[in-house]
Structure 1
Amino acid sequence: MSLSIIGFFTIIIIVALLISGRVSPLVAMVIPPIVAALIAGFNFDEVGEFFSSGLSSVMNVAVMFIFAIIFFGIMQDVGLFEPLINKMITLSKGNIIVVAVITVLIAVVAQLDGSGASTFLITIPALLPLYLRLRMNPYLLLLLIAGSAAVVNMVPWGGPLGRVASVLEVDVTELWYPLITIQIIGVVLMLALAVFLGFREKKRILKQYGTLDFTNDDHAITQGVVSSEVDTSLQRPKLLWINAIITVLVIGILVAGILPAGLAFLIGVAIALPINYRTPKDQMARVQAHAPNALTMASIIIAAGLFLGILNGTGMLTAIANNAVNILPSFLLSYLHIIIGVLGVPFDLLLSTDAYYFALFPVVEQIGLSFDIDSLSTGYAMIIGNIVGTFVSPLAPAVWLALGLSGLEMGKHLRYSFFWMWGLSITLLFIAVALGIIAI
């Protein structure tokens, strides 16, 4: 029990620090887990081993961060997204609600490959400048993408269903069929949420700026902020189609899995630089301009690797999962799968995906069987309850990628999105119960 208590309080402290914004994520995810490991009786040699293990699990993500941010930064410099922004403004006529709805639809399509990272890489660079141009809150963009992508992530090739299928030893496609209805309802609810939050955003913008007409605004959007000055010498309007082809090829390679994501973006940077900027000095100037953002996010990912390495290596995550069910009174155990489902999104802040499905799920399933709750009902309750919160969790590397691409903060993302995602999760869970997908 001591390991689970230490692990629980460590995660609570880290989440509290992230939400408070009093320290950088680097500090929040390095100091508490090291102190926790030492309190739990592990020595510095073991902490070093945990770091090495955690680092190996996130290194590919860190490398992808560095070159993805540099690549999209270069594409921003050359003006690749300006025609797209202007076209989307024309089509939406600057309508805040239409933009919010379009965000959900684009995220749904982008997530069909089952990769949260590629969804953020496709959607954020294209939509963030539009949000900033229209003075929309960029955290709304993150919320709508995160919720839509999480609902679609119930596909068989997404991680959660594969984990549950492997534990239950069932066919993942058959496991998916009853969830299709929930996915459709989830997308409809996300569209309704987009409309509601769009209206709310419209009122905020009118109150703050007194107008909604920013379509002819001559302010430029650079690195996630609105600036009145832009270096037009960096733009390459005559090379628009070449840069578009390079971007499509890089994202296509990423989605198809032909090359590791980091390598795909590294090659993209290496091709884009000499095409757009002729001299080595100009090329390195573009790398140096975007290196601070890239390295900042890579350092946070490495810190997250230490965090996860310690929690996994010490056994804290497994202990939390195994002891989570022991705190409930016995008369509630027959509803344990529903209770865990309702708490699924908060569990996203406490447990990694593997700990949730490989450690907690088997325990809940066995307890459910003793009360004649079939394993599939337990699986569906835990999937629906948890999956919606995937992209608001500090334990999900794709979330840090989204924050790096948008220049936003984890604490503010949690404050803005958490309760909306939790509400969506609980709503879908009880809809599944009403439809008979989950037995009680």
Structure 2
Amino acid sequence: MLTLIGLLTIGSLVVLLLVGRTSPILPLIVVPLLGALFAGFGPEAISGFFTDGIGRVTAIATMFVFAITFFGVLQDTGLFRPLIGGMVRLTRGNVIAVTVATALIGMLAHLDGAGATTFLLTIPALLPLYRKLRMSPYLMLLLLALGAGVFNMLPWAGPLGRASAVTGVDVTELWRPLIAVQVVGVVLLLALAALLGWREQRRIAAGQCADEGVLVETGTDLHEPSAEERELERPQMMWFNAALFLVVLAALFSGVLPAGYIFMIGLCLVLMLNYRSSKAQMQRIAAHAPAALSMGMIILAAGSMLGVLTGTGMLTSIAKDLVQVLPAPLVGQLHIILGLFGLPMELMLSTDAYYFGLLPVTLEVVSGLGVEPASVVYALTIGNIIGTFISPFSPALWLALGLAGLDLGRHIRYALWWMWGFSLVLFAVAWGLGLF
């Protein structure tokens, strides 16, 4: 009976997350609560489940709130804009240089972990250049999506935070073994960008038409920031901001302090250095509060969900019954099998459904056979994360399509096999490194 209630609870949760008619916070809180009540648990027991679950994710939620605000303020100062603008100017006329620069720009722009920011910074700057050189804008979007996917493994980007909330493993501990995978991913992406640039150059030389869709008209070669954005920029503080950025990254690498505390200190310093008045500081915090609080609330809601699902025994019951059904040789390899098909599953599952629906059940199934939680996270994450921006459930992708005037179906047809192949290569690299 508990297995049935657990399956109905998780199934309802996944469906509601996929439909997207409400904020993810609502089903994450309400559905497990109803499941616990139907399973016969009272307010006192549910309160204990909630407390345990929230305790597991408080540090993660804190890190997200301050990390998103920190990187948002750095973006306000204009730290990354000259890098992007300079790279665009340097690549004019050379198709291969443009594709390589696009991959680099996509990664740089995704340092704050926000897909919307990535596309807002890059597409208005790159699209006129692609049009001028008669390059396919779908190639541009593919390379930006791949670059953002590689850097989506950063601990403040979202997927690892969700995985940390599910497993209870510290997010920076999860990230450190992934650094080697990211480095390989950067090198592979630059090589792939050069290959695709060479292919695009041949297509243009042959006079073939690019599958451009409906492009947005723009009258400028490069996206110019608005007057309001110019007022927030601090070009005279660029080197100080760059040094602060590197110090924060070094502190995260070393683990000298908890990640949330590092971002708290970093946020204080970036505000004091760039915006001296209390009014200006509060305005910058308020500007980024919606994104920061949204992710923090999702993590806290996920904590309550996992506390209830774990405390009631639903996950354990589902896992035990699933082990009885699956062929014995497949049980211990379930996370690897799912990881191989992680990217195509982006077309069917949202990020929340993947990490809060699929990951907990997989974890329960294989943990009984001695598989470490981190190994399950790496298999499912690496297999899936590159496809973040091919998913119709990604709001940032819809923003990108709107900015570039492109069609989702054509983007999927153009990018799916390249992205899946890329993810499988990274999957093999991680496997070879012993991550799972």
Normalising by structure 2, report the TM-score.
Answer: 0.63
Contact 1:253–1:259 (Cα < 8 Å) also in 2:
yes
* Partner in structure 2 of residue 291 of structure 1: 289
- Name which of 199, 205, 217 aligns with 2:223: 217
Distance of aligned partners of 1:274 and 1:16 in 2 relative to their CA distance in 1, 3 Å threshold = same
- Residues in 1 aligned to 2:232 and 2:185: alpha-carbon distance in whole angstroms: 45
Q: Does 1:98 align with 2:100?
A: yes
- Name which of 281, 300, 303 aligns with 2:301: 303
- Residues in 2 aligned to 1:429 and 1:81: alpha-carbon distance in whole angstroms: 27
The sequence identity of aligned pairs, in percent, is 31
Matches within 5 A, 1:54-73: 54-73=53-72
- Name which of 118, 124, 134 aligns with 2:126: 134
* Partner in structure 2 of residue 164 of structure 1: none
- Residues in 1 aligned to 2:287 and 2:316: alpha-carbon distance in whole angstroms: 42
Q: Does 1:342 align with 2:342?
A: no
* Partner in structure 2 of residue 312 of structure 1: 310
Q: Does 1:252 align with 2:250?
A: yes
Kindly state the Cα deviation for residue 6 of structure 1 after the two structures are TM-superposed.
Answer: 2.4
Kindly state the Cα deviation for residue 134 of structure 1 after the two structures are TM-superposed.
Answer: 2.9
Query: 1:287-334: CA deviations, max 9, x gaps?
Result: 222222222221121111111211222222222222223224xxx444
Query: 1:383-413: CA deviations, max 9, x gaps?
Result: 885343464899xxxxxxx999x999xxx9x
Matches within 5 A, 1:67-216: 67-93=66-92, 97-99=99-101, 101-102=103-104, 121=112, 127-128=118-119, 129-131=121-123, 133-134=125-126, 141=144, 144-146=147-149, 207-209=214-216, 215-216=221-222
* Partner in structure 2 of residue 388 of structure 1: 382
- Name which of 260, 274, 277 aligns with 1:276: 274
Contact 1:89–1:215 (Cα < 8 Å) also in 2:
no
Structure 2: which amino acid aligns with 1:306? S
Kindly state the Cα deviation for residue 32 of structure 1 after the two structures are TM-superposed.
Answer: 0.9
Query: 1:59-100: CA deviations, max 9, x gaps?
Result: 111111221122122212221111121133235549674355
Contact 1:104–1:144 (Cα < 8 Å) also in 2:
yes
Query: 1:333-358: CA deviations, max 9, x gaps?
Result: 445556663334467553446x645x
Contact 2:149–2:387 (Cα < 8 Å) also in 1:
no
Distance of aligned partners of 1:392 and 1:98 in 2 relative to their CA distance in 1, 3 Å threshold = closer
* Partner in structure 1 of residue 6 of structure 2: 7
- Residues in 2 aligned to 1:283 and 1:323: alpha-carbon distance in whole angstroms: 54
Contact 2:143–2:193 (Cα < 8 Å) also in 1:
no
* Partner in structure 1 of residue 47 of structure 2: 48
Contact 2:56–2:303 (Cα < 8 Å) also in 1:
yes
* Partner in structure 2 of residue 39 of structure 1: 38
Query: Over aligned residues, Cα RMSD in angstroms?
Result: 5.0
Kindly state the Cα deviation for residue 141 of structure 1 after the two structures are TM-superposed.
Answer: 4.6
* Partner in structure 2 of residue 360 of structure 1: 365
- Residues in 1 aligned to 2:426 and 2:277: alpha-carbon distance in whole angstroms: 57
- Residues in 2 aligned to 1:84 and 1:268: alpha-carbon distance in whole angstroms: 21
Contact 1:66–1:297 (Cα < 8 Å) also in 2:
yes
Contact 2:100–2:190 (Cα < 8 Å) also in 1:
no
Secondary structure of the corresponding residue to residue 214 of structure 2: helix
The gaps in structure 1 that reach 5 residues or longer are 108-118, 151-159, 161-175, 221-227, 366-374, 395-401
Secondary structure of the corresponding residue to residue 24 of structure 1: coil
- Residues in 1 aligned to 2:313 and 2:334: alpha-carbon distance in whole angstroms: 24
- Residues in 1 aligned to 2:125 and 2:359: alpha-carbon distance in whole angstroms: 36
Secondary structure of the corresponding residue to residue 8 of structure 1: helix
- Residues in 2 aligned to 1:190 and 1:349: alpha-carbon distance in whole angstroms: 32
* Partner in structure 1 of residue 18 of structure 2: 19
- Residues in 1 aligned to 2:64 and 2:395: alpha-carbon distance in whole angstroms: 11
Kindly state the Cα deviation for residue 53 of structure 1 after the two structures are TM-superposed.
Answer: 1.2
Distance of aligned partners of 1:274 and 1:384 in 2 relative to their CA distance in 1, 3 Å threshold = closer
Give the paired residue count.
354
- Residues in 1 aligned to 2:241 and 2:189: alpha-carbon distance in whole angstroms: 36
- Residues in 2 aligned to 1:139 and 1:52: alpha-carbon distance in whole angstroms: 43
The gaps in structure 2 that reach 5 residues or longer are 128-136, 154-162, 164-176, 201-208, 346-353, 389-393, 401-407
- Residues in 2 aligned to 1:77 and 1:186: alpha-carbon distance in whole angstroms: 26
Kindly state the Cα deviation for residue 24 of structure 1 after the two structures are TM-superposed.
Answer: 0.7
Structure 1: which amino acid aligns with 2:40? G
- Residues in 2 aligned to 1:268 and 1:292: alpha-carbon distance in whole angstroms: 19
